[in-house]
Amino acid sequence: MSISRRPASLRRILFAAILFCPLPFTAPFAAAQRLPTNVVPQRYTLKLTPDLQSATFTGVETIGVTLKQPTNAITLNSAQIAFQSVAVTAAGKQQKATVSFDKPKQQATFTFADPLPAGKATLDIRYSGILNNQLRGFYLSKARGQRFAVTQFEPTDARRAFPSFDEPAYKAVFDITIVAPKTDTVISNSPIEADTPGPAADQHTLHFYPTPKMSTYLVAFLVGDFKCTSGASDGVPIRVCATPEQVNLTHFALSTAEFALHFYDNYFGIHYPLKKLDLIGIPDFEAGAMENFGAITFREQDLLLDPKTASISTQENVALDVAHEMAHQWFGDLVTMQWWNNIWLNEGFATWMESKTVAAMRPDWHIPQVVAADEQGALDYDAAPTTHPIRARAASTPAEINQLFDEISYEKGCDVLLTVENYLGPEMFRKGVHAYLTAHEYGNATAQDFWNAQTATSHKPVDKIMQSLITQPGEPILTFASPANGQVSVRQQRFFLNPEVKPDLTEKWTLPVCFVSGAGQSCDVLTPETSTLKLPEGSFLDANARDKGYYRTAYPEPVYKRLVADAETRLTPPERVGLIGDEWALVRSDRASVGDYLNLLAALKSDPNATVIASVVGSASASILSGAAGGLAVVNDRVAATPDQRTELAAWIRRTFSPEYDNLGAPSPNDTPNKKQLRAALFALLGGPGRDPKVISQANQIAEHFMQDPKSVDPNLGQTAMAIAARNGDTALFDKLQQIYETSTNPEFQIGALRMLAEFENPTLEERALQFAVSGKVKSQDAAIQLAIALQIPPERQLAWKFIQSHWPQVHAELTPELGEILVASSGSFCNAGARDQVQSFYSTHKVAAASLSLKHAIEEINGCIQLRQDQEANLKSWLQEQPGIQSGSSPAE
C-alpha cells in the first residue's frame, strides 16, 4: 500500500504526517487477538450483490477449510456483517451453526452440536452487510452524481465484506461472482470468465476466474461506471480505469505500467503471476494506492494526469506510485509476510524498487537525488526517542497493525535495503531477491528468510547487517578522526536530534561504511568491536559514498571544511544532499551552529541540481508534509523567533539567491526537467521566506495566466506561483480556486486548488477555508488534510488550532483512522510550551482512534523545536549581524 507522497499527494501530503512511537505490545495481549490456528482455509467461493442506492449488499459464501484437530467450533473474522444462516458439511454430514460474536476482536464463532472431525469441511454462509462511508472494507464512493461500490481491505478489513480468516498467512484461492447493475463495469483480481444477464432484468452476473493462492487483504472487487484504456506488456493485458470523464487522463499511467511490468519481469526473473493487470482510480480513497493482486486501486490524483499540463513532480509521483504497487505484485502478493510485524519488508522493498524502476524509465528525472532527499526525512524521524525498530515486536489489533504503516516501514525499510544493495552490488543483490521469491512464491515468509537468501547468495555477512539495522531502533552517528596511514578512526553511538536525550552507549551497529574513492566507492564493515576502517587511496574523506548508507556522519573541522570546499567538484548530487542533511542534523543536536549550516547553504547556492537546491530551500512543514529535512524555510520558521530576525534572513536570502534565479533566464520549451524544477525551487524560496516583492508580483501574474490556460505556463512554475499567490491572496483568488475545486475533472487541478485554499494567510479567508473543509463539500479523504496543512503554515497555525478545538464535532466526523493520525501528528508543528500543553490536554480528552502514538510523537516534535530554538536562536542572531546590509532597517526590496 502506498500512503502517497510529498505535498503533491498523500505518502510521502500524508506520509511523514503519519507519525508513530514505539509499540509497547506484549505477546500475551497480542496472542489474544489472533485467530485460533486449528482451521486453515483453502478456497473461498463468494457471490456478492451490492445495492448502490441503499448502500447495502448481500453475500453467499462457501469456505473450504481443513481442520487440524476435531472441534465443535470455528472462529473467523467478521465486522459489520449480519448472518442469515451458517452451516457446515464435514464427513458427509451437514450441521447448522449457532453464531456468537466478540465485537472488540471483530470475530464470529460458529458452534456446532456435534464435533467436527479432523480433515476437510465446507462452511456455507448467507449474510448481508453495508456499503459503509469509512473508506475501508466494501464501501460506497461517490463522484459527480454517480455511485461506486469499491474495496480497501489492507490491513484488516476484508472481514467487513465477507466472513474470513483475515490474517495474511491464511492464503487461499478466491472464486468470485458479482451481481451488478447491467450498465456497470465490474473489476476483480482475475479476468472475467462469464458475463451473463440477470437474475433481474436490470442486472448482470459476472463470474471471475479463480485466483491463485493469496491473502484476504489482497482481494478486490469494484462496481460502477468505470471506463478503461487498454495496453499490454510481455503478453499481459493491462488496463487503466477511471470515471468516464477522466478516462482521457489514463495514458501516462498506462505507459508507466507497461514499462514497469517488463522491467520487473526481467529484474525478478519471474513472469508477472496473473493473467491481467488493472489499475483503477477511485473517487474516494483513504490511502494513496493499494496493491490488490491484479487490481490495483488508487486515489485519482495518484494515477490520473495530463502530461501536457502536469508538473514534473506530479508525473514523478504517479510513476512512483504505479511502480510501487506493481512491485508488490511480486514482493507482497506473490510472496507475503507471515505477519504484520514484517510489513516493512513489503513496503520497504516496494519503496526501494519504485525508485529503481522510474530511474530506468526517466533518467532525466534524477531519481537517485530524490531518494537521497527522502532518506533525510527517515533519518530525522528515526532520531527521535519515540521511534521503533523496523521489525515491530508485536501487533495484533487493527489499531496496532495500522500503526505499523509509517515512515520506518516505508522509508527506513527502503534505506536499509539500499545500504545492503550498495554494499553487495546491484547484480548480487538481485540474485538474492530472485532466490527469496522463488523459494516462497504463493506462500509466506519472514525477514529472516530474506536476509538468509542474501547471505547464502553473496557469502557476505548480510544476516548480521540486517539483524543489526532491523531489530534496533534508531540510527548511528559515525564520528571520524582525521585519516592517517590508509585508515581512519571512527566512533559510533546512537544519534538523537534532541541534545537533551542521551544515548545508551551499549547500542551499536554492524553496517557497511562506503567511502568516496576515485573508482566510485570502497566499503568496509563496521562492527561494535571495531574502531578503525580502511580507506581508499587519497586524502579526501567522505564516508557515505552515493549517500546510500543509513547513518549520520561527523568530521573534524579541517575535513569538513575540505568537504564543503570541494563539494561541487568531488561529491555527487546525492552526496551533497546528504552533506546538507547531516549538517542540519548536527545543528538540531547542538553539535554545530546554525551559522555554519547557513554558510554551507550559501556555498551550494549555485548548484545546478534541482534536488540539491530543494534541500537548501526546505519546507516549513517538512516534518509533516514533505519529508524534506532542514532548509531555509525551516530555519525561518523553527529557529528565527522575532519578526526582525525573519526580515533579516529574508534580506540575506534575496541577496544570495536572486542572482541564481536571474541566471536561469526566462522559461523555455527547451528547458530540461531539472532546469524547470530548479527555477521553481528558487522561485519558491524567493517568494516564500525571501519575501521578494518582485517575485510575489510575478507569482500573481503567473498564477492568473495558469488558471486561465494551464498550457500557457510551465506547470512547475505555475503551481509554485499559485502557492505564493494564495499565501498573499485575496477573496477573488479564493473564489476562483474554490470554483476550480468544485468543477474540474482533472485531479491535479482539483486537488491542487483545494490545497491552495488552506494556504491563504488572510485571517478571514483562512477561517473560510477551515469552514469549507468541514462543510461536507470536501471529501472525507481530504478534509483532515486541509486542517493539517493550515497547522503547518506559521501565520495560520494558531487560528487553525482554535478552529479545530471549537469545531471538534464537525472535525471529528471527518476523521478516518489514518486521517485522524495525520491531524494529530500535524499538531506537532508548534514551538512553545503553552501550545504543547494545550495539544496534550485537548487530545487527552478528545480521543482520536489509533492516534495515541501520533500524539506522543507530536509532543516530542514540539519539545524538539523548543530545544532547537533555545540552542540556536542566539547563534542565528549573531550570524545575521555579521552579514552586511541585511539588518532589519534595510529595504525589503533589493
Contact 833/794 with Cβ under 8 angstroms? no
Residue with cell 507569482: 699
Residues 6+ apart with CB under 8 A from 41: 63, 64, 65, 164, 165, 170, 172
Query: What secondary structure does DSSP assign to 167-235, as a single string?
Result: STT--BEEEEEEEEETTSEEEESS-EEEEEE-SSTTEEEEEEPPP-SB-GGG--EEEE--EEEEEEETT
Contact 149/135 with Cβ under 8 angstroms? no
Tell me 713's DSSP state: S
Three-class DSSP category at 664:
coil
Residue with cell 539500499: 418
Residues 6+ apart with CB under 8 A from 561: none
How many Cα atoms occupy the beta-carbon half-sphere of 650 within 13 Å? Answer: 24
Q: How far apart are CA 378 and CA 721, in angstroms?
A: 29
Task: For residue 303, give the nearest of 282, 281, 272, 332 by alpha carbon.
Answer: 281
How many Cα atoms occupy the beta-carbon half-sphere of 312 within 13 Å? Answer: 24
Q: How far apart are CA 379 and CA 387, in angstroms?
A: 10
Contact 868/638 with Cβ under 8 angstroms? yes
User: Could you count the other beta carbons within 10 Å of the beta carbon of residue 841?
Assistant: 10
Q: Give catalytic status of residue 325 as yes or no.
A: yes
Pairing of strands 173-181, 39-51: parallel
Partners of residue 776 on adjacent β-strands: none
325, 400, 648, 766: the active-site residue = 325
Partners of residue 289 on adjacent β-strands: 2, 298
Contact 595/876 with Cβ under 8 angstroms? yes
Residues 6+ apart with CB under 8 A from 218: 153, 154, 189, 291, 292, 293, 333, 336
Question: How would you class 665 by CB atoms within 10 Å of its CB: exposed for 0-12, middle for 13-18, buried for 19 or more?
Answer: exposed
**How many angstroms separate the Cα of 483 from the Cα of each of 515, 531, 542, 556?**
12, 13, 11, 10
- Residue type at 221? F
Question: How would you class 596 by CB atoms within 10 Å of its CB: exposed for 0-12, middle for 13-18, buried for 19 or more?
Answer: middle
C-alpha cell at 738: 474554490
Query: What secondary structure does DSSP assign to 758-794, as a single string?
Result: TT--SHHHHHHHHHHHTSSSS-HHHHHHHHHHHHHST
**How many angstroms separate the Cα of 508 from the Cα of each of 176, 542, 551, 805, 869?**
51, 21, 12, 44, 30
User: Could you count the other beta carbons within 10 Å of the beta carbon of residue 406?
Assistant: 29
Query: What secondary structure does DSSP assign to 291-314, as a single string?
Result: --TTEEEEEGGGT---TTT--HHH
- Kindly report the backbone phi and psi dihedral angles of residue 714, in degrees, each rounded to the nearest multiple of 5, phi listed first: -55, 120
Element containing residue 140 per DSSP (H, E):
strand 137-143
Peptide bond into 199 cis (omega under 30): yes
Task: For residue 348, give the nearest of 365, 334, 331, 336 by alpha carbon.
Answer: 331
Tell me 330's DSSP state: T
Q: How far apart are CA 513 and CA 398, in angstroms?
A: 38
Catalytic residue numbers read: 325
